[in-house]
Copies of this chain bind each other. A is one copy, B any other.
Amino acid sequence: MNFSSKLLEDAVNEFSKLPGVGQKTALRLVLHLLNKEQEEVELFGNALIRLRKEIKHCQVCHNISDNQLCSICAAAKREKEVICVVEDTRDVMAIENTGQYFGLYHVLGGLISPMDGIGPSDLFIDSLVQRVATTPVKEVILALSATMEGDTTLFYLYKRLKDFQIPITTIARGIAFGGELEYADEITLGRSIVTRVPYQTSLIK
Binding site for B on A (CB under 8 A): 1-8, 10-11, 13-15, 17-21, 25, 27-34, 36, 38, 41-55, 63-66, 70-72, 88-90, 92-93, 96-97
From B32, B49, B55, B93, give the contact of A2 (CB < 8 A): B93
Per assembly, the copies of the chain total 2
A21 to B45 alpha-carbon distance, docked (Å): 16
Q: How far is the CB of A15 from chain B (nearest CB, A)?
A: 8
Contacts of A20 in B (CB 8 A): 25
Residue pairs across A and B with Cβ atoms less than 8 A apart, 12 shown, are A1-B93, A2-B93, A4-B63, A4-B71, A4-B72, A4-B93, A7-B50, A21-B29, A36-B52, A38-B52, A42-B49, A42-B52
From B21, B31, B45, B46, give the contact of A89 (CB < 8 A): B31
- Most chain B beta carbons < 10 A, residue from A7, A14, A97: A7
A18 to B6 alpha-carbon distance, docked (Å): 22
Contacts of A46 in B (CB 8 A): 45, 49
A38 to B50 alpha-carbon distance, docked (Å): 10
Contacts of A10 in B (CB 8 A): 47, 50-51
Q: How far is the CB of A198 from chain B (nearest CB, A)?
A: 32
A7 to B97 alpha-carbon distance, docked (Å): 19
Closest to A32 in B: B19
